A and B are shown apart, each in its own frame.
Chain A
Amino acid sequence: MIADILIIAFLAVGTFFNTLGIVGLLRFPDVYTRMHATTKMTTFGSVFTALAVIIYGGASWLGSMDTGYAILSIHTLIAAVALAFTNALGSHAIARGAHRSGIKPSPAVVDRLEEVQP
């Protein structure tokens, strides 16, 4: 019962943040601000969706004592951790590559990196 409520709540939060990430992709002006919306908010949403799966697996495992559900939970946990770590590295690589290839932040109040790099 509590597990069902938690699953629905986590799925709702995850879908909400994923949707806002897509809206941000369409609304924001340049590549860096769009990355704020897409890479971060969708990761947060996906981690919450994964949390719902973990709770579903844990609750089913406690109910039936079938180890298959426990394995589902552990593997989803590993997937969520891997998602969070690779997301940080990937978005840093995209941002650095974009700035090096000459795409400047177009509405920007300040750009300290451009003063350092030729």
Chain B
Amino acid sequence: MIAFCVTFLLVFCIYLLLTAGSGTIGFWSASELVAGAGLGIVVAGITRKFLCRSDNYRMANPLRLLLIPVYLLGPFLVEVTLANIDVAGRVITGRIRPGIIRVTSELKTDLGIFMLANSITLTPGTITVDIEEKGNDLFVHKINIMPGDEQKEAVPARELFSIADIPAWIRRIAE
């Protein structure tokens, strides 16, 4: 029942976002509200077991959901901007030292690893190539490996980012 309600609310909110500005009740017309609710019930009935597979509803906590946009617009945007400028310089000068390194993360849940892997991939200069499912280690292709890092067995995830502590932020959101 909780799974059904969570999925319904998510679907309904996305539908309202897509149809905003259609009428006079708030921003929506009555027919769009009814259509959204009907579609939400149908979709939630079919897909509730896919969205809430882990039977753990900590991500339905509004505080955690509120932290996601703060994280995306705050430390993550700063990291992406800095890395973009860095890679732009490397495109012009051609100074690269590419390679694949093993990165350890102290995250344990699937969602945490997923968010960390995607954050690494979205930052220019680093791509997550593969994940070792047992120890939750990531294999990251880096465009400029620091001298000395190629001898190390593994590098902590914190050192991939320059200013902000991205793994700590993800732990706060997802675990």
Contact = CB atoms under 8 A, between A and B. Distances in A.
Interface of A: 17, 20-21, 23-24, 27-28, 30, 32-33, 35-37, 40-41, 43-44, 67-68, 70-71, 74-75, 78, 84-85, 87-89, 91-92, 95-96, 99, 105, 107-114, 116-117
Nearest to B124: A40
Ranked 9 nearest A-B pairs via Cβ: A40-B124, A110-B150, A24-B91, A67-B21, A110-B99, A88-B118, A113-B139, A71-B21, A112-B102
A74 B94 CA distance: 39
Interface in B122-155: 122-125, 127-130, 132, 139, 141, 143, 145, 149-150
A105 B88 contact: no
Contacts of B143: 33, 36
Nearest to A61: B21
A33 to B, nearest CB: 5
Given A71-B20, A109-B97, A37 B87 contact: yes
Contacts of A44: 80-81, 84, 124
B21 A36 contact: no
Interface string B88-105: 100110101111111000
Interface of B: 17-18, 20-21, 27, 80-81, 83-84, 87-88, 91-92, 94, 96-102, 117-118, 121-125, 127-130, 132, 139, 141, 143, 145, 149-150
Contacts of B125: 36, 40
A84 B96 contact: no
Contact of B99 (A17, A35, A40, A109): A109
Contacts of B129: 32, 92, 95-96, 99, 113
Contact of A27 (B84, B91, B118): B91
Nearest to B125: A36
15 contacts: A28-B91, A33-B143, A37-B91, A41-B91, A68-B21, A70-B20, A78-B18, A87-B122, A95-B128, A95-B129, A107-B96, A110-B145, A110-B149, A112-B101, A113-B100
B12 to A, nearest CB: 16
B116 to A, nearest CB: 11
Given A44-B84, A96-B129, A113-B130, A108 B122 contact: no
B96 A33 contact: yes
Contacts of A37: 87, 91
B21 A70 contact: yes
